[in-house]
């Protein structure tokens, strides 16, 4: 037996409903955002921040560092054993150790191992500068080579200019200048004492 056809009014309502659903589905699909269509976080942040106006932390250009005042104790120049000009003023603002030694001095030789070991480590914080005197230049250079001291400045003071300036009367003498330019030690230091003092200066 044939199934009776639906009433004309009911069929019309079904057609209208189907048309509405067909139109709504694409719009609903366009609102769904999956992993492949998500907006990057950076883009969201940029959009919310508005137009770029430069880094928010950027301020006016910083002024160049003010050179440290050069104390009288570091107001001298010299030449290293290899002939390079040396200006102690470049060390201003840091503690400095001046080591007065002679190439024939057995005590200096025993201390040279400690100087060679610690000087490179504290080159930027507590520079150690050798001041060679009371000997011939050739012997001084041989001393530097033998004990591996070439990595630190070794001044040629054969004329005794710096020895007299600092009133050094014997070797081996360590003269320690603090960051304000004051002499805080002048005299003998064994390897252990020297290391301890340099470490303390580097911390302070």
Residue 14 has pLDDT above 90, yes or no: no
Q: DSSP assignment of 102-140, as one string?
A: -TT-HHHHHHHHHHHHHTTTTTTTS-EEEEE-SS-HHHH
In this structure, the strands spanning 77-79 and 128-132 are unpaired
Residue 111 has pLDDT above 50, yes or no: yes
Whole-angstrom CA distances from 98 to 23, 95, 163, 169 are 90, 10, 10, 14
Q: How many CB atoms lie within 10 A of CB 6?
A: 11
Predicted local confidence at residue 126, as pLDDT: 97
CA distance 20 to 151: 87
pTM, 2 dp: 0.68
Model confidence at 167, pLDDT cuts 50, 70, 90, reads very high
Higher pLDDT, 99 or 50: 99
Higher pLDDT, 40 or 63: 63
Model confidence at 121, pLDDT cuts 50, 70, 90, reads very high
Residue 81 has pLDDT above 70, yes or no: yes
Q: Where are the domains of the chain?
A: 72-203
Residue with tokens 């189907």: 18
- CATH top-level class of 72-203: alpha beta
């Amino acid at each position: 037996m044939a199934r009776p056809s639906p009433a004309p009014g009911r069929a019309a309502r079904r057609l209208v409903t189907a048309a509405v659903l067909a139109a709504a589905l694409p719009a609903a699909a366009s609102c769904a955002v999956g992993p492949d269509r998500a907006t990057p976080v950076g883009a969201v942040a940029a959009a919310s921040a508005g137009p770029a106006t430069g880094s928010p932390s950027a301020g006016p250009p910083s002024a160049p560092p003010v050179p440290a005042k050069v104390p009288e104790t570091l107001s001298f120049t010299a030449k290293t054993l290899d002939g390079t000009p040396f200006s102690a003023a470049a060390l201003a603002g840091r503690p400095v150790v001046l080591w007065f030694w002679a190439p024939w001095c057995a005590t200096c030789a025993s201390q040279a191992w400690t100087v060679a070991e610690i000087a490179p480590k504290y080159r930027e914080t507590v520079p150690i500068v050798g001041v060679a005197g009371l000997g011939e230049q050739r012997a001084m250079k041989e001393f530097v080579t033998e004990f591996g001291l070439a990595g630190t400045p070794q001044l040629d003071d054969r004329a005794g200019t710096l020895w007299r300036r600092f009133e050094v009367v014997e070797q081996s003498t360590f003269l320690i200048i603090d960051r304000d330019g004051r002499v805080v030690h002048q005299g003998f230091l064994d390897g252990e004492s020297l290391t301890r003092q340099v470490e303390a200066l580097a911390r302070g």
